[in-house]
Amino acid sequence: MTRRNFIEKSGNSYLAMMALGFFPEAPAKSFDLARNEKPNGKKVIILGAGLAGLASAYELGKLGYDCVVLEARERVGGRIWTIRKGTTETEIGGEKQTCQFDEGYYLNAGAARIPHHHHLTVQYCRELKIPVEIFGNLNEAGFQYSESNRGALANKRVRAREIHADMRGYLTELVAKAIDQQALDLEMSKEDVDRYVAWLREEGDLDINKKYKGSERHGYELAPGAGMRGGTIAKPYALKDIVESGLTHPAFANVGEYTFNQQPVLLQPVGGMDMIPKAFEKVVGDKVKRSCEIQEIRKTNPGVRIVYLDKKTGQKHEVKGDYCICTLPLPILKGIPSDLSGDVQRVADFVPYMETCKIGMQFKRRFWEEDDQIFGGITKTNMDITQIFYPAHGMLGPKGVLKGMYNFHGLAKKVGELSIADRQKLAFEQGSRIHPQYKDEFENAFSLAWHKIPYSKGGWGIYSDAARQRLYATMTKNDDDIYFAGEHASNLPAWMAGAFESARYAVELLHKRVSAG
Amino acid sequence: MTRRNFIEKSGNSYLAMMALGFFPEAPAKSFDLARNEKPNGKKVIILGAGLAGLASAYELGKLGYDCVVLEARERVGGRIWTIRKGTTETEIGGEKQTCQFDEGYYLNAGAARIPHHHHLTVQYCRELKIPVEIFGNLNEAGFQYSESNRGALANKRVRAREIHADMRGYLTELVAKAIDQQALDLEMSKEDVDRYVAWLREEGDLDINKKYKGSERHGYELAPGAGMRGGTIAKPYALKDIVESGLTHPAFANVGEYTFNQQPVLLQPVGGMDMIPKAFEKVVGDKVKRSCEIQEIRKTNPGVRIVYLDKKTGQKHEVKGDYCICTLPLPILKGIPSDLSGDVQRVADFVPYMETCKIGMQFKRRFWEEDDQIFGGITKTNMDITQIFYPAHGMLGPKGVLKGMYNFHGLAKKVGELSIADRQKLAFEQGSRIHPQYKDEFENAFSLAWHKIPYSKGGWGIYSDAARQRLYATMTKNDDDIYFAGEHASNLPAWMAGAFESARYAVELLHKRVSAG
- CATH number for the domain spanning B427: value is 3.90.660.10
Spatial CA neighbour of A125 closest among B375, B138, B46? B375
- The residues pairing with B315 across neighbouring beta strands, listed in sequence order, are B310
- Given a cut of 80, whether residue B12 has pLDDT beyond it is no
Does the beta-carbon distance from B220 to A167 stay under 8 Å?
Answer: no
Structural domain tally of chain B? 3
- Environment class of B516 (CB within 10 Å of its CB; exposed 0-12, middle 13-18, buried 19+): exposed
Distance CA A482, CA B196 (A): 50
Distance CA A354, CA B286 (A): 60
**What CATH number is given to the structural domain containing B305?**
3.50.50.60
- Given a cut of 60, whether residue B8 has pLDDT beyond it is no
What is the C-alpha R_g of chain B?
A: 26
* Residues of B in Cβ contact (< 8 Å) with A257: 140, 257
Going by pLDDT thresholds of 50, 70 and 90, the confidence category of residue B511 is very high
Torsion of CA B19, B23, B28, B30, to 10 degrees: -90
Listed by number, the residues of chain A in 207-266 with a beta carbon closer than 8 Å to a beta carbon of chain B are 216-217, 219-231, 234, 239-240, 243-244, 246, 248-250, 253, 257-260, 263-265
* Residues of B in Cβ contact (< 8 Å) with A27: 223, 225
Distance between terminal CA atoms of chain A? 45
| Same domain (yes/no): B211, B90 | no
SS3 state of residue B332: helix
Distance between terminal CA atoms of chain B? 45
Does the beta-carbon distance from B440 to A14 stay under 8 Å?
Answer: yes
SS3 state of residue A361: strand
A276 and B CB contact within 8 Å: no
- Given a cut of 80, whether residue B242 has pLDDT beyond it is yes
**Considering the domain boundaries, does residue B20 fall inside one?**
no
Listed by number, the residues of chain B in 40-79 with a beta carbon closer than 8 Å to a beta carbon of chain A are none
Q: What is the per-residue pLDDT across A350-374, written as a single tens digit (0 to 9) for each? A: 999 999 999 999 999 999 999 999 9
| Same domain (yes/no): A100, A233 | no
* Residues of B in Cβ contact (< 8 Å) with A246: 195
A512 and B CB contact within 8 Å: no
| Same domain (yes/no): B169, B244 | yes
| Same domain (yes/no): A319, A284 | yes
Distance CA B175, CA B183 (A): 9
Torsion of CA A366, A388, B2, A246, to 10 degrees: -150
CB A233 within 8 A of CB A220: yes
In sequence order, the 6+-apart residues with CB closer than 8 A to the CB of A295 are A307, A308, A309, A316, A336, A337
Does the beta-carbon distance from B220 to A24 stay under 8 Å?
Answer: yes
Residue B421 carries which DSSP code? H
Does the beta-carbon distance from B198 to A249 stay under 8 Å?
Answer: yes
Q: Which residue of A has its CA nearest to B369?
A: A116
* Residue of B132, B219, B436 with shortest CB distance to A395: B132
| Same domain (yes/no): B104, B172 | no
Distance CA B143, CA B145 (A): 6
Q: Please give the distance of CA A346 from its chain centroid, rounded to a whole number.
A: 27
| Same domain (yes/no): B401, B439 | yes
CB B65 within 8 A of CB B59: no
Does the beta-carbon distance from B167 to A13 stay under 8 Å?
Answer: no
* Residues of B in Cβ contact (< 8 Å) with A372: 23
Listed by number, the residues of chain B in 151-210 with a beta carbon closer than 8 Å to a beta carbon of chain A are 161, 167, 171-172, 174-175, 178, 183-184, 186-188, 192, 195-196, 198-200, 202-203, 205
Which residue type does A287 have?
K
Going by pLDDT thresholds of 50, 70 and 90, the confidence category of residue B255 is low
Q: Which residue of B has its CA nearest to A502?
A: B226
Q: Please give the distance of CA B238 from its chain centroid, rounded to a whole number.
A: 34
> What is the reported pTM?
0.93
* Residues of A in Cβ contact (< 8 Å) with B506: 226
* Residues of A in Cβ contact (< 8 Å) with B174: 175, 178, 184
- What's chain B's average pLDDT? 93
Helix axes B275-284, B51-62, angle to 10 degrees: 30
**Considering the domain boundaries, does residue B55 fall inside one?**
yes
CB A178 within 8 A of CB B183: yes
**Considering the domain boundaries, does residue A32 fall inside one?**
no
Distance CA B137, CA B133 (A): 12
Residue B311 has phi, psi (to 5 degrees) of: -65, -20
* Residues of B in Cβ contact (< 8 Å) with A506: 226
| Same domain (yes/no): A127, A164 | no
Number of continuous H segments (helices) and E segments (strands) in chain B: 16, 24
CA distances from B426 to B70, B384, B386, B430 (A): 38, 8, 12, 6
B397 and A CB contact within 8 Å: no
**Considering the domain boundaries, does residue B13 fall inside one?**
no
**Considering the domain boundaries, does residue A16 fall inside one?**
no
Going by pLDDT thresholds of 50, 70 and 90, the confidence category of residue B256 is low
Does the beta-carbon distance from B196 to A133 stay under 8 Å?
Answer: no
Distance CA A79, CA A31 (A): 24
CB B173 within 8 A of CB B212: yes
Going by pLDDT thresholds of 50, 70 and 90, the confidence category of residue B17 is very low
| Same domain (yes/no): B337, B475 | yes
CB B339 within 8 A of CB B298: yes
Strand B232-233, strand B220-222: pairing: antiparallel
The reported pLDDT for the residue numbered B474 is: 98
| Same domain (yes/no): B62, B111 | no
CB A477 within 8 A of CB B201: no
Distance CA B323, CA B483 (A): 8
Which residue type does B477 have?
K
Q: Which residue of A has its CA nearest to B240?
A: A188
Distance CA A177, CA A189 (A): 18
- The residues pairing with A189 across neighbouring beta strands, listed in sequence order, are none
B440 and A CB contact within 8 Å: yes
| Same domain (yes/no): B269, B291 | no
- Given a cut of 90, whether residue B36 has pLDDT beyond it is no
Spatial CA neighbour of B360 closest among B329, B400, B393? B400
Does the beta-carbon distance from B13 to A437 stay under 8 Å?
Answer: yes
Number of continuous H segments (helices) and E segments (strands) in chain A: 17, 24
Q: Which residue, A433, A452, A471, sits at the end of a domain? A: A452
In sequence order, the 6+-apart residues with CB closer than 8 A to the CB of A88 are A96, A97, A98, A99
B8 and A CB contact within 8 Å: yes
Residue B273 carries which DSSP code? T
* Residues of B in Cβ contact (< 8 Å) with A392: 134, 265
CA distances from A377 to A217, A387, A487, A497, B199 (A): 18, 10, 25, 21, 22
* Residues of B in Cβ contact (< 8 Å) with A244: 192
Least Cα separation, residue B24 to chain A (angstroms): 5
In sequence order, the 6+-apart residues with CB closer than 8 A to the CB of A468 are B230
Spatial CA neighbour of B492 closest among B501, B482, B484, B483? B501
Distance CA B148, CA B161 (A): 20
**Considering the domain boundaries, does residue B154 fall inside one?**
no
SS3 state of residue A68: strand
Q: Which residue of A has its CA nearest to B499?
A: A226
**Considering the domain boundaries, does residue A1 fall inside one?**
no
Distance CA A157, CA A138 (A): 17
Distance CA A140, CA A265 (A): 14
Torsion of CA A94, A100, A101, A104, to 10 degrees: 110
Residue B397 carries which DSSP code? -
| Same domain (yes/no): A112, A198 | no
* Residues of A in Cβ contact (< 8 Å) with B171: 171-172, 175, 200, 203
Q: What is the per-residue pLDDT across B307-331, written as a single tens digit (0 to 9) for each? A: 999 999 999 999 999 999 999 999 9
The reported pLDDT for the residue numbered A9 is: 52
Does the beta-carbon distance from A223 to B502 stay under 8 Å?
Answer: no
Distance CA A401, CA A442 (A): 10
Spatial CA neighbour of A433 closest among B11, B119, B17? B17
* Residue of A192, A216, A263 with shortest CB distance to B243: A192
Does the beta-carbon distance from A248 to B196 stay under 8 Å?
Answer: yes
Distance CA A158, CA B24 (A): 12
A505 and B CB contact within 8 Å: yes
Going by pLDDT thresholds of 50, 70 and 90, the confidence category of residue B438 is very high
**Considering the domain boundaries, does residue B30 fall inside one?**
no
CB B487 within 8 A of CB B52: yes
Which structural domain range is residue A243 located in?
Answer: 160-248
Q: Which residue, A435, A452, A469, sits at the end of a domain? A: A452
Does the beta-carbon distance from B248 to A196 stay under 8 Å?
Answer: yes
Angle at A401 between CA A140 and CA A264, to 5 degrees: 35
| Same domain (yes/no): B486, B498 | yes
**What CATH number is given to the structural domain containing A185?**
1.20.1440.240
Residue A170 carries which DSSP code? H
Spatial CA neighbour of A266 closest among A374, A165, A376? A376
Which of A307-316's residues contact partners 24+ apart within 8 Å by CB, and which partners? A308/A70, A311/A72
List chain A residues with pLDDT less than 50. 1-4, 6-8, 10-30
Give the DSSP per-residue string, B340-352.
--HHHHHHHHH--
CB B144 within 8 A of CB B254: no
Q: Which residue, B403, B422, B452, sits at the end of a domain? A: B452
Distance CA B92, CA B411 (A): 18
Give the DSSP per-residue string, A87-111.
-EEE-TT--EEE--PPTT--EE-S-
Which residue type does A73 have?
R
* Residues of B in Cβ contact (< 8 Å) with A505: 225-227
